[in-house]
Amino acid sequence: MADPAASTLSSAWSSWLKVYRDRRLLITLFLGFSSGLPLLLTAGTLSARLLEAGITKTVIGLFAFAASAYTLKFLWSPIVDQMPLPLLTGRFGQRRAWMLVAQALLIVGLVGLGFTDPAAGLRSTVMWAVVVAFASATQDLAIDAYRIELLDASQLGAGAAMNSVGYRVALLVAGGGALILAQLIGWSGAYVAMAVLTAVGFITALVAPTAPTSVTPVTGGYGVWMHHAVVEPLADFLKRPGWLLIFAFIPLYKYAEGLIGIMANPFYLEIGFTKVEIGLISKTYGFAMTVVGGLMGGALVARMGIMRTLLLGSILQIAANLVFAAQAVIGHSIPALMVTISVDNISNGIAGVASIAFLSSLCNKAYTATQYALLTAFMAFARTVLSSGGGWLADQLGWVKYFLTISLAALPGLVLLLIIMRRFPDLDVSRAPKKA
């Protein structure tokens, strides 16, 4: 005889997860993989290759500038947003056309990077790394805009979750997978293999449907185009009720998470965990918990709406800080660390998906790529600056007081969120009726 409780639980999970059955979410999963694949190939994976080639650590550190394209992509986002590509835009639509061009350039860049010899021609390695980073950042602009325009408002959370899962799987492939391949077949073979995997995004862009968009060709001179592509997206934000509150909330929402993330590894090492334990539990087990949290976040947005899920994520981030404080008291304990990683990564998964859905919902579909690029750049830059003092604070307070203190860092964002929810209840577009 079936257990009624188990049957009820199974039915509840099935109901919650049915949001992921839409074919469009499978598309966002594959595009998320395509978006995440190049990142480490110009960062951690490339650093390992450079070190093996005898390049100094000082020079390796300077390669971080190659990845500045990810931060600065808002500078050319108006071009991706508004400029049609001859032959391609008419056939594939604005977003898929730019995806295909960026992915083609990415394939060329990865092959070129793979066949450079850093020891003999570092300048060539730098050039190809910049090409890969630029193509990858451009691809991200098109993919983010496409995801926002493809999905219904009620699917923004699930779309963010599937994009995140694909992205994180790609990081594993481009990180550990590329290193294993380099050991077996050499660096050139490893980078060519990564170029081949870029076909996942290329094929997806070819067969995916064209997303509905409000982008219209601009006629007139350069000044008219600049006004439409650059000035109007910014002006559109400033016309919205509560825009100042929203802009204050964006960097503060995940401030506490940033303060944990920047000091997590030093904390684990100082209380006695080995690098192997950190790798297995924090990274491997933590990856699984982040995926679980992301999928939960997508389902929660579909059931509760964006704003309530943001609220839950904010509360969970405070709880994660308190769990870290408890870990600092307990010290070296594998079971306790598993609990800490579970709470932290699940809360980050839920809060991350909710914040992506929130930023997506703020975008006017006439300027999707530009506005989303500006919002994410502002969020990332502000949070990085705000969390830069975390190390100093930990030195002054010690670990227990540090985590108790930074739990307070989540309160300004929480207060702003409650004010926004109260004053602007119509902001949550995920609660709007679905399209016919």
pLDDT at site 54: 81
pLDDT at site 325: 93
Q: Superfamily for 19-217?
A: MFS general substrate transporter like domains (1.20.1250.20)
The 8-class DSSP code of residue 210 comes to: P
Tokens of 59: 């020079």
Most confident of 84-98, 112-126, 231-245: 84-98
pLDDT class of 382 with cuts at 50, 70, 90: low
pLDDT at site 376: 85
Dump pLDDT digits (tens) for 77-87: 888 888 889 98
Average pLDDT over residues 19-39: 88
Q: For residue 11, is pLDDT > 70?
A: no
Torsion angle of the four alpha carbons 36, 41, 45, 47, in this order, in degrees rounded to the nearest 10: -130
Q: For residue 125, is pLDDT > 80?
A: yes
Q: For residue 432, is pLDDT > 70?
A: no
pLDDT class of 141 with cuts at 50, 70, 90: very high
Q: Are 415 and 399 in contact (CB under 8 A)?
A: no
pLDDT class of 17 with cuts at 50, 70, 90: low
Q: Which residue has the higher pLDDT, 292 or 430?
A: 292
Smallest CA-to-CA distance from 63 within 79, 93, 40 is with 40
Average pLDDT over residues 181-209: 91
Which one-letter amino acid corresponds to residue 63? F
Average pLDDT over residues 310-326: 92
pLDDT at site 430: 64
Distance of CA 285 to the CA centre of its chain: 19
Mean pLDDT of the chain: 84
pLDDT at site 433: 47
Average pLDDT over residues 155-178: 88
What is the Cβ-side half-sphere exposure of residue 149, based on CA atoms within 13 angstroms?
27
Share of the chain above pLDDT 90, in %: 29
Distance (Å, rounded) from C-alpha 259 to C-alpha 323? 14
Average pLDDT over residues 227-244: 80
pLDDT at site 16: 59
Which one-letter amino acid corresponds to residue 109? G
pLDDT at site 9: 46
Q: How far is CA 236 from CA 78, 150, 306, in A?
A: 14, 21, 21
Smallest CA-to-CA distance from 136 within 237, 214, 37, 223 is with 37
pLDDT at site 219: 57
pLDDT class of 13 with cuts at 50, 70, 90: low
Q: Which residue has the higher pLDDT, 71 or 221?
A: 71
Angle in degrees, CA 152, 153, 159, rounded to 5: 70
Q: Are 105 and 131 in contact (CB under 8 A)?
A: yes
Q: What is the domain class of 225-431 according to CATH?
A: mainly alpha
Main-chain dihedrals φ then ψ at residue 152, nearest 5 degrees: -70, 160
Where do the domains of the chain lie?
19-217, 225-431
Q: Do domains 19-217 and 225-431 have the same CATH topology?
A: yes
Average pLDDT over residues 414-423: 92
pLDDT class of 434 with cuts at 50, 70, 90: very low
Q: Is the pTM of this model over 0.95?
A: no
